[in-house]
C-alpha cells in the first residue's frame, strides 16, 4: 500500500550519499504527503468508528424535537470485534438539562446495515416536564460488541422556548399623513408553514369622545434567519388631521398556540401645515438669462401619491397678473424646489418688461398646493426690476469656509469670471470684517466670448478664526448705469480645525449576530472629514474597521451606517462601537466607545467576585465571630436583575436576595454580609451566587465557591520591660512570649496617667507559632509627673482579619524623676490597616479637608466639574529642606472596604503649605454614607480623615433624540429629600464648562424611596450643548 511504500522509500533515502539525499528530497516530500492523506481517516477515528453529523432539529422551539446522527466505520474495524454481520452494535442518546441527565435512549442492531440513526420525537414539556430551557444539551455514544468505540462531546441544544418578541421599532411622534409604521422581530421555531402573521390593535384618539379600537390588516411574517421572523406593519391615520394620542398592541400569531400580545405602545400623532418661502429672484433680473427659484417646506411631498404643485404669480401695476405653473419640482426630504428659467416656453419676460420696470418694479409670489393631503400655502411677495443686460459673474473660485490651523497662515487664491458684451472692465474687490480691511482693483484677462477672468489673493491667520467676512465684488464699466454694477455679496467664514462627536445610536438595541444594524453618529465639524465606524467584537477582543462616510462642515450633522457588523456567530456580551474622524489623511478626533447592540443568546456575566480565591478562608475567634463581606459584579445588557446569595453548610442554609447597585456600562454590584461564629470553626460551607431576570427563562448559577472557617487562637504569655527602671524618654525593650495560630500584627500600648489614655508606642509583625517578640520604645511622648516613682503599665494588642485580641496588663519599668536628656520623639500614629510605615514627624501637623462636605456620586466616568470633590492636605510647621511627594488615598464606608490611591502624585508646595486634588474618586464604587481619606507622604501614611457625606447617587444618565425631541433621563438614590434638576453647561467640552443653567422643571425625590427614574422631554432647539444633573437638599417634607 501507499503507506508501506513511503516507509521503504524513507529507508532507501537514508542509505544514499549526501548529494543523492538532496536530489531525492522532493520525491520524499511528495511520498509523505500521499501517505498522510491515506492515513488521515484512521487518525480521525482511531477505534475504526466515528459519530458524525450529530444534530437536533429544530434548534429552537416548543413542540417536538428529533435527534439524529450517522456512524462511520473503517474496513479494519471488523477485525476488532469479529464478523460485522453478527456483531451487536448500539447507538445511545443522552439528553441533559442544566448538566443533569434527564433521558437516555438507544438503538440496537446486529450488523451495520444501517448507518443513519434518528431518535424521537421528544416533547420536553410532556415527556420531561420542562416547559422552557436554554441549557439543554445532548451526546451520542457508539458501542460495538459491548465496547464503547466513540463518544461525542456534549452538544448544546435545543432551546426550548415559546415565541418571543426580539425588538419593536416605530416613530413615537409621526405626522398625521405618516400614520403608524412598525418594524417587529420575533424568535420562533424555524420552518413554520404557514408563516406566522401579526397585526396591530389600535386605540385612539385617546381621551376623546371619538376614541375607538380597531385592528390593522394581518401581515405575514418573513423569515429573517434561523428561528427568526420579521414584519413591517403600517396603518393609515391620515383621517386624523388634527393629530392626537394613540396606543397599540402588537399581536403575533404563529397559528399553533394562542396569539401573543405585546405592548401597549404609545404614539403622538402631529398635525402639519406646509410653509412657502419667498421666491429667490435677482433684484435686477436680466430677461435673457435668469433663474427664479421658489422653495416650499412640505414633509409629505416625497410620499407616494403626493401631488405637489407650484404657481408663480408675477404682478405689475400696469399689467394683468402672469401665472406660471410647475408640476415637476425637485424634492429632497421636506424641501420642495420649483424653478423657472429664461429657456422656459412660453417665455416669462421680453423686451417690453424692461420699459415697464422703469415705471414701477414687478412683484412675485408662490402659491403651493398638494391635493393628496389638501395642503395649500402662499409665500410673501418679492419685488424686482427687469433689465436688458447686466454683467454676469460665473465660475467663482471663492471659498465659503476657510480653515486655519493654530499658529499658521492660510493664503487663499480667489478668482471669478465676468461676462459682458460691451468690453472689459475692472473688478473692485473688498473683504471686510474683524481685523480685516482688504481692498484691490483688478484688471481682467480676456478669455474670449466676451468673458474676462480676475484673480486676487487674501491671507488669513489666527486673528481671523471664528469670524465671518463679507466679500463685495463690483464690475466697473463706463457703459453701465452709474458706471458700476454690484454683484451680490458673499460670506466667508474662518474656522479652526475642530471636530466634536455629540451623540450616537444603533437602531436595534437587541438582535441576532447576523442581523443588519443601522449605526448613527452626530458630529460638529468645522472641516469636511471622513468618519469611520469601528465595531468591537467581544469574541475576538478586536476593534474591526468598517465603512467610511463623508461629513461636511456643519453643526449636529448625522451620519448613518447600515451593515452586518459581525462575520461569524458571537453571543458574548460586550459589543461596542466607536467613530474616528480623518482630515487631510490624519486622524484628528475619536468618539468614546458606546455599548450595543445586545446579541441574542448573550447571558449574564459575572465580571468580578470578592474576596477572590477558592476556597475562601474565613477566621473566627472564641471571643467573637466575624462578618465576611461578599461582593459580586454582574454585567447584563438586558438590565438590572436580582442576585441570590446561598450559603449551605452543616445543618444550615442561609439565603439573601440582593437588588444591586448600578455601576454604569450595564454593570450592577450586589453585596451581602455573612456572619460566622466560633462554633463554625473547622467547618466548610458552599457559597452560590444565583441570578434571575425577567428576560431569563430560569435562574442561572453564576458562581460556586467553598468557604472554609478556620479558628484564630492568640495566647499572650509572660512579658517584662528591661531595664527595670529609667527616665520617661529613655528606650526600653519590651519582651513578650506569645503563641498564635496565624501571622498577626502586634502593637505595644503604654498607659499615660496624665491623659488617662492608652497610647500606642510601637508595633511589629508576629509569626504563627510560639515566639518571643522584642519591641524597643520609650514609655511616654512627654514628661508625666504622675508617672514618676511608679511602675508604668503596658499591654499588647494583636489584630487579624478585623478581630482584635488584647493581653492582660503588665507592669514596668519604674519611671524615675531625674532630668532626662532631650531626644527626638516619634509622633503618635494611627494604625494603617496592616501597613507598617506611618508618617511620624512630631513637629509637623497634618490637616485634611474635603470640599464640599456633602457630596453626590455620578456612577459613570464624567469629565465635567459638577459634583467634583476637592481634597486638600496642609502640613503646618514643615521645616525640612526636602520637598515631599504626596498621594491621596480614599475609601468607601463599610467593613473590609479597600483603600485606593486616586489622582496623580503631587509635590508639596512650601509656599502655600498645602496640596489639593479635584476629582470624582467614587464613580466605580458608588455608595450612600460617609467616606474616608488619608494622605501618603513619601510613602508614609497619615491618619484617616472622615468625609465627604454622600447623600445621593446618580446613575443611568442618558439622552436619546426622537425626531426633534431630546429625552433626558437619570436614576436617583438618596437618603434625604431632594430636588433633582436637569442642567446645561455653557460649553460643548465638559472640561471647559464654567457655569450651569437649569433646563425645564426640577422634580422632587422623597427620602428613602430607593432608586427612582426621572425624565425630561426638551425640544432640540432648547437642548443644552452639554447636559448633566444637579440636586438640592429639600428640607421640607414632600407631599
The single residue listed with the C-alpha cell 509656599 is 911
The answer as to whether 570 is a domain residue is no
How would DSSP label each residue in 801-854? Answer: TTEEEEPPPEEEEEEP-SPPPP---PPP---BTTBS-B---TT-EEEEEEESSE
The answer to whether 863 and 1026 have CB atoms below 8 angstroms apart is no
**What is the spatial distance between Cα 273 and Cα 117, in angstroms, rounded to a whole number?**
69
- Using pLDDT thresholds of 50, 70 and 90, give the confidence band for residue 474: very high
Is there a single domain that holds both residue 989 and residue 862? yes
Listed in sequence order, the residues at least 6 apart from 333 whose beta carbon sits closer than 8 Å to its beta carbon are 299, 302
Question: Which grid coordinates belong to 433?
Answer: 470684517
682, 711, 740: which is the final residue of a domain? 711
- Report which secondary-structure segment, H or E, holds 23: helix 18-44
Per-residue model confidence as pLDDT tens digits over 478-521: 878 778 899 999 999 998 888 889 888 898 777 777 778 999 99
Quick one: pLDDT at residue 602?
Answer: 61
**Dmax (CA) of the chain:** 130
What sign does the dihedral 589-593-594-599 (CA atoms) show?
A: positive
Is there a single domain that holds both residue 685 and residue 768? no
What sign does the dihedral 818-823-827-828 (CA atoms) show?
A: negative
Is there a single domain that holds both residue 870 and residue 881? yes
Residue 353 exposed, middle or buried by CB count within 10 Å (0-12, 13-18, 19+): buried
Task: Tell me the range of 664-678, 709-723, 818-832 where mean pLDDT is highest.
Answer: 709-723
Give long-range contacts, CB 8 A cutoff, 24+ apart: 80-84: 80/47, 80/48, 80/144, 81/144, 81/145, 81/147, 82/145, 84/111, 84/112
The answer as to whether 400 is a domain residue is no
657, 685, 711: which is the final residue of a domain? 711
Quick one: pLDDT at residue 21?
Answer: 42
Is there a single domain that holds both residue 462 and residue 353? no
With CA atoms as reference, report the closest residue to 872 among 918, 841, 832: 918
**What is the spatial distance between Cα 816 and Cα 838, in angstroms, rounded to a whole number?**
30
**What is the spatial distance between Cα 505 and Cα 578, in angstroms, rounded to a whole number?**
10
Question: Which grid coordinates belong to 19?
Answer: 548529494
**What is the spatial distance between Cα 859 and Cα 642, in angstroms, rounded to a whole number?**
19
**What is the spatial distance between Cα 762 and Cα 828, in angstroms, rounded to a whole number?**
9
Q: Domain span at residue 522?
A: 499-559+576-599
Strand order in the sheet with 222-223: 164-170, 180-187, 228-235, 222-223
Over range 460-472, report the average pLDDT: 93
The answer as to whether 401 is a domain residue is no
- Using pLDDT thresholds of 50, 70 and 90, give the confidence band for residue 600: low
Give the three-class secondary structure for 11: helix
Is 828's pLDDT higher than 60?
no
Q: Number of C-alpha atoms within 13 angstroms, CB side, residue 82? A: 11
Over range 83-103, report the average pLDDT: 86
Confidence (pTM): 0.38
Q: Number of C-alpha atoms within 13 angstroms, CB side, residue 688? A: 14
Quick one: pLDDT at residue 589?
Answer: 86
Quick one: pLDDT at residue 80?
Answer: 54
Question: Which grid coordinates belong to 256?
Answer: 399553533
How would DSSP label each residue in 841-896? Answer: -TT-EEEEEEESSEEEEESS---SSTT-EEEEEEEET---SS--EEEEEEE-SSTT
Over range 747-773, report the average pLDDT: 89
The answer to whether 430 and 471 have CB atoms below 8 angstroms apart is yes
Per-residue model confidence as pLDDT tens digits over 896-920: 788 899 999 998 888 888 999 999 9
Q: What CATH number did the domain enclosing 130 receive?
A: 2.60.40.10
**What is the spatial distance between Cα 942 and Cα 838, in angstroms, rounded to a whole number?**
6
Is there a single domain that holds both residue 964 and residue 859? yes
Is there a single domain that holds both residue 594 and residue 624? no
Is 245's pLDDT higher than 90?
yes
The answer as to whether 825 is a domain residue is no
Over range 929-947, report the average pLDDT: 90
- Using pLDDT thresholds of 50, 70 and 90, give the confidence band for residue 2: very low
Residue 29 is classified by DSSP as H
CA dihedral 475, 476, 481, 482 (to 10 degrees): 120
Listed in sequence order, the residues at least 6 apart from 540 whose beta carbon sits closer than 8 Å to its beta carbon are none
Give the three-class secondary structure for 78: helix
Is 612's pLDDT higher than 80?
no
Is there a single domain that holds both residue 308 and residue 368? yes
Measured in whole angstroms, the distance separating CA 709 from the mean position of its chain's CA atoms is 41
Question: Which grid coordinates belong to 967?
Answer: 429625552
Quick one: pLDDT at residue 47?
Answer: 61
How would DSSP label each residue in 146-196? Answer: TEEEEEPPPEE--EE---EEEEEEE-SS-BTTT-EEEEEEEE--TT-SSPP
Quick one: pLDDT at residue 698?
Answer: 81
Is there a single domain that holds both residue 718 and residue 705? no
The answer as to whether 856 is a domain residue is yes
The answer as to whether 820 is a domain residue is no
Q: What total of structural domains would you count in the chain?
A: 9
Per-residue model confidence as pLDDT tens digits over 552-595: 888 889 999 998 888 776 767 778 999 999 987 878 888 998 98
The single residue listed with the C-alpha cell 441544544 is 157
Quick one: pLDDT at residue 471?
Answer: 96
Quick one: pLDDT at residue 45?
Answer: 45
Is there a single domain that holds both residue 839 and residue 925? yes
With CA atoms as reference, report the closest residue to 199 among 271, 272, 252: 252
Question: Which grid coordinates belong to 905?
Answer: 502624585
Quick one: pLDDT at residue 953?
Answer: 93
Percent of the chain scoring above 70 in pLDDT? 90
Percent of the chain scoring above 90 in pLDDT? 46
| Rg of the chain in Å (alpha carbons) | 42
Is there a single domain that holds both residue 206 and residue 288? no
Per-residue model confidence as pLDDT tens digits over 969-1021: 999 998 888 999 999 998 877 888 889 999 988 998 887 678 899 998 888 88
**DSSP β-bridge partners for residue 819:** none
The answer as to whether 487 is a domain residue is yes
Is there a single domain that holds both residue 662 and residue 532? no
Give long-range contacts, CB 8 A cutoff, 24+ apart: 484-489: 484/428, 485/390, 485/391, 487/391, 487/393
Give 336-376 as a 3 state SS string.
Answer: EEEEEECCCCCCCCCHHHHHHHHHCCEEEEEEEEECCCCEE
With CA atoms as reference, report the closest residue to 234 among 192, 171, 164: 171
With CA atoms as reference, report the closest residue to 951 among 933, 927, 932, 981: 927
Per-residue model confidence as pLDDT tens digits over 246-289: 999 999 999 888 899 999 999 999 999 999 999 999 998 988 88
More confident: 145 or 425: 425
Over range 629-645, report the average pLDDT: 84
**DSSP β-bridge partners for residue 689:** 645, 703
The answer as to whether 827 is a domain residue is no
Question: Which grid coordinates belong to 626?
Answer: 466575624
Across all residues in the chain, what is the average pLDDT? 85
236, 269, 302: which is the final residue of a domain? 269
Quick one: pLDDT at residue 603?
Answer: 72
Question: Which grid coordinates belong to 685?
Answer: 460551607
**DSSP β-bridge partners for residue 248:** 202, 265
**What is the spatial distance between Cα 874 and Cα 858, in angstroms, rounded to a whole number?**
28
Over range 100-119, report the average pLDDT: 90
The answer to whether 836 and 941 have CB atoms below 8 angstroms apart is no
Quick one: pLDDT at residue 574?
Answer: 75
Quick one: pLDDT at residue 665?
Answer: 64
Residue 819 exposed, middle or buried by CB count within 10 Å (0-12, 13-18, 19+): exposed
More confident: 317 or 1036: 317
Quick one: pLDDT at residue 251?
Answer: 96
- Using pLDDT thresholds of 50, 70 and 90, give the confidence band for residue 22: very low
Q: What CATH number did the domain enclosing 928 receive?
A: 2.60.40.1930
Q: How far is CA 750 from CA 735, 760, 797, 799, 841, in A?
A: 14, 7, 11, 17, 20
Is 9's pLDDT higher than 50?
no
How would DSSP label each residue in 473-518? Answer: EEEE-TTSGGGEEEPPPEEEEEEE--EEEEEEEES-SEE-TTS-EE
Is there a single domain that holds both residue 838 and residue 929? yes
Amino acid at each position: 500500500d501507499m503507506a508501506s511504500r513511503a516507509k521503504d522509500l524513507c529507508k532507501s533515502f537514508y542509505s544514499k550519499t549526501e548529494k543523492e539525499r538532496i536530489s531525492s528530497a522532493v520525491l520524499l516530500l511528495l511520498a509523505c504527503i500521499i501517505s498522510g492523506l491515506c492515513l488521515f481517516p484512521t487518525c480521525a477515528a482511531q477505534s475504526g468508528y466515528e459519530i458524525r453529523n450529530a444534530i437536533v432539529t429544530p434548534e429552537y422551539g416548543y413542540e417536538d424535537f428529533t435527534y439524529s446522527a450517522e456512524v462511520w466505520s473503517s474496513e479494519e474495524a471488523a477485525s476488532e470485534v469479529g464478523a460485522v454481520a453478527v456483531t451487536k452494535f448500539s447507538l445511545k442518546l443522552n439528553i441533559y438539562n442544566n448538566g443533569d441527565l434527564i433521558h437516555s435512549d438507544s438503538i440496537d442492531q446486529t450488523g451495520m446495515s444501517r448507518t443513519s440513526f434518528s431518535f424521537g420525537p421528544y416533547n420536553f414539556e410532556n415527556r420531561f416536564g420542562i416547559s422552557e430551557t436554554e441549557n439543554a444539551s445532548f451526546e451520542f455514544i457508539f458501542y460495538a460488541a459491548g465496547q464503547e468505540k466513540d463518544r461525542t462531546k456534549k452538544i448544546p441544544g435545543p432551546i426550548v422556548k415559546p415565541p418571543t418578541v426580539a425588538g419593536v421599532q416605530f416613530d413615537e411622534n409621526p405626522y398625521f399623513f405618516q400614520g403608524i409604521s412598525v418594524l417587529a422581530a420575533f424568535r420562533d421555531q424555524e420552518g413554520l408553514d404557514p408563516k406566522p402573521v401579526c397585526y396591530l390593535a389600535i386605540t385612539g384618539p385617546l381621551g376623546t369622545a371619538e376614541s375607538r379600537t380597531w385592528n390593522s390588516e394581518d401581515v405575514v411574517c418573513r423569515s429573517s434567519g434561523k428561528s427568526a421572523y420579521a414584519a413591517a406593519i403600517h396603518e393609515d391615520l391620515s383621517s386624523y388631521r388634527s393629530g392626537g394620542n394613540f396606543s397599540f398592541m402588537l399581536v403575533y400569531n404563529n397559528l399553533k398556540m394562542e396569539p401573543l400580545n405585546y405592548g401597549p405602545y404609545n404614539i403622538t400623532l402631529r398635525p402639519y401645515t406646509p410653509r412657502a418661502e419667498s421666491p429667490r429672484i435677482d433684484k435686477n433680473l436680466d430677461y435673457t438669462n435668469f433663474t427664479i427659484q421658489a422653495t416650499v417646506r412640505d414633509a409629505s411631498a416625497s410620499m407616494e401619491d403626493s401631488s405637489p404643485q407650484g404657481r408663480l404669480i408675477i404682478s405689475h401695476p400696469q399689467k394683468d397678473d402672469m401665472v406660471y405653473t410647475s408640476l415637476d419640482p425637485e424634492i429632497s426630504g421636506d424641501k420642495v424646489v420649483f424653478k423657472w428659467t429664461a429657456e422656459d416656453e412660453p417665455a416669462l419676460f421680453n423686451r417690453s418688461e424692461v420699459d415697464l420696470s422703469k415705471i414701477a418694479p414687478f412683484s412675485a409670489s408662490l402659491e403651493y398646493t398638494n391635493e393628496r393631503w389638501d395642503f395649500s400655502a402662499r409665500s410673501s411677495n418679492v419685488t424686482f426690476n427687469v433689465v436688458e443686460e447686466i454683467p454676469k459673474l460665473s465660475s467663482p473660485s471663492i471659498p465659503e469656509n476657510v480653515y486655519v490651523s493654530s499658529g499658521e497662515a492660510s493664503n487663499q487664491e480667489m478668482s471669478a469670471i465676468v461676462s459682458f458684451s460691451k468690453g472689459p472692465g475692472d473688478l473692485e474687490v473688498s473683504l471686510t470684517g474683524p481685523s480685516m480691511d482688504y481692498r484691490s482693483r483688478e484688471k481682467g484677462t480676456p478669455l474670449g466670448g466676451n468673458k474676462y477672468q480676475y484673480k486676487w489673493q487674501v491671507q488669513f491667520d489666527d486673528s481671523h478664526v471664528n469670524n465671518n467676512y463679507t466679500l463685495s465684488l463690483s464690475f466697473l464699466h463706463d457703459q453701465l448705469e452709474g458706471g458700476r454694477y454690484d454683484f451680490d455679496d458673499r460670506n466667508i467664514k474662518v474656522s479652526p480645525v475642530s471636530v466634536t462627536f455629540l451623540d450616537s445610536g444603533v437602531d436595534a438595541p437587541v438582535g441576532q449576530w447576523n442581523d443588519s444594524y443601522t449605526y448613527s453618529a452626530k458630529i460638529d465639524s468645522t472641516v469636511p472629514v471622513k468618519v469611520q465606524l469601528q465595531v468591537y467584537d467581544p469574541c475576538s477582543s478586536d476593534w474591526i474597521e468598517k465603512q467610511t462616510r463623508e461629513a461636511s462642515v456643519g453643526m449636529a450633522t448625522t451620519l448613518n451606517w447600515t451593515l452586518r457588523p459581525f462575520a461569524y456567530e458571537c453571543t458574548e456580551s460586550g459589543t461596542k462601537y466607536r467613530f474616528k474622524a480623518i482630515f487631510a489623511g490624519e486622524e484628528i478626533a475619536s468618539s468614546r466607545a458606546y455599548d450595543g447592540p445586545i446579541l441574542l443568546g448573550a447571558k449574564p456575566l459575572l465580571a468580578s467576585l470578592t474576596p477572590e480565591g477558592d476556597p475562601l478562608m474565613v477566621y473566627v475567634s472564641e471571643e467573637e465571630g466575624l462578618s465576611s463581606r461578599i461582593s459580586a459584579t454582574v454585567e447584563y445588557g438586558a438590565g438590572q436583575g436580582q442576585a441570590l446569595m446561598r450559603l449551605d453548610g452543616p445543618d444550615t442554609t442561609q439565603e439573601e436576595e440582593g437588588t444591586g447597585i448600578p455601576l454604569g456600562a450595564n454593570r450592577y454590584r450586589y453585596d451581602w454580609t455573612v456572619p460566622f461564629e466560633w462554633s463554625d470553626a473547622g467547618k466548610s460551607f458552599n457559597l452560590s451566587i444565583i441570578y434571575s431576570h425577567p428576560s431569563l427563562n430560569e435562574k442561572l448559577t453564576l458562581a460556586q465557591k467553598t468557604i472554609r472557617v478556620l479558628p484564630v487562637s492568640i495566647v499572650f504569655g509572660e512579658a517584662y520591660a528591661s531595664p527595670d527602671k529609667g527616665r520617661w524618654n529613655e528606650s526600653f525593650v519590651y519582651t513578650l512570649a506569645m503563641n498564635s495560630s496565624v501571622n498577626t500584627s502586634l502593637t505595644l500600648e503604654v498607659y499615660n496617667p496624665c491623659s488617662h489614655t492608652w497610647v500606642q508606642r510601637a508595633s511589629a509583625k508576629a509569626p504563627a507559632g510560639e515566639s518571643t517578640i522584642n519591641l524597643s520604645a520609650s514609655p511616654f511622648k512627654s514628661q508625666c509627673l504622675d508617672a514618676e516613682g511608679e511602675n508604668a503599665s503596658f499591654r499588647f494588642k494583636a489584630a487579624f482579619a478585623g478581630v482584635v485580641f488584647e493581653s492582660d496588663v503588665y507592669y514596668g519599668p519604674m519611671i524615675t524623676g531625674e532630668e532626662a536628656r532631650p531626644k527626638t520623639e516619634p509622633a503618635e500614629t494611627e494604625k494603617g490597616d496592616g501597613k507598617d510605615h506611618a508618617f511620624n514627624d512630631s513637629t509637623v501637623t497634618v490637616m485634611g479637608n474635603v470640599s464640599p462636605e456633602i457630596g453626590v456620586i455620578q456612577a459613570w466616568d464624567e469629565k465635567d466639574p459638577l459634583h467634583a470633590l476637592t481634597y486638600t492636605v496642609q502640613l503646618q510647621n514643615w521645616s525640612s529642606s526636602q520637598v515631599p511627594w504626596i498621594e491621596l488615598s480614599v475609601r468607601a464606608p463599610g467593613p473590609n472596604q479597600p483603600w485606593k490611591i486616586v489622582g496623580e502624585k503631587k509635590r508639596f508646595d512650601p509656599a502655600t503649605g498645602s496640596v489639593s486634588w479635584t476629582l470624582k474618586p467614587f464613580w466605580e464604587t458608588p455608595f450612600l454614607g460617609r467616606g474616608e481619606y488619608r494622605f501618603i507622604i513619601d510613602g508614609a501614611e497619615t491618619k484617616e480623615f472622615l468625609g465627604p457625606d454622600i447623600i445621593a447617587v446618580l446613575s443611568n444618565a442618558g439622552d436619546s433624540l426622537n425626531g426633534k425631541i431630546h429625552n433626558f433621563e437619570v436614576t436617583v438614590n438618596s437618603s434625604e429629600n431632594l430636588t433633582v434638576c436637569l442642567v446645561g453647561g455653557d460649553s460643548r467640552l465638559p472640561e471647559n464648562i464654567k457655569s450651569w443653567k437649569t433646563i425645564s422643571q426640577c422634580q422632587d425625590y422623597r427620602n428613602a424611596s430607593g432608586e427612582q427614574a426621572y425624565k425630561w422631554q426638551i425640544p432640540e432647539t432648547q437642548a443644552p450643548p452639554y447636559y448633566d444633573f444637579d440636586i438640592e437638599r429639600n428640607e421640607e417634607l414632600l407631599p
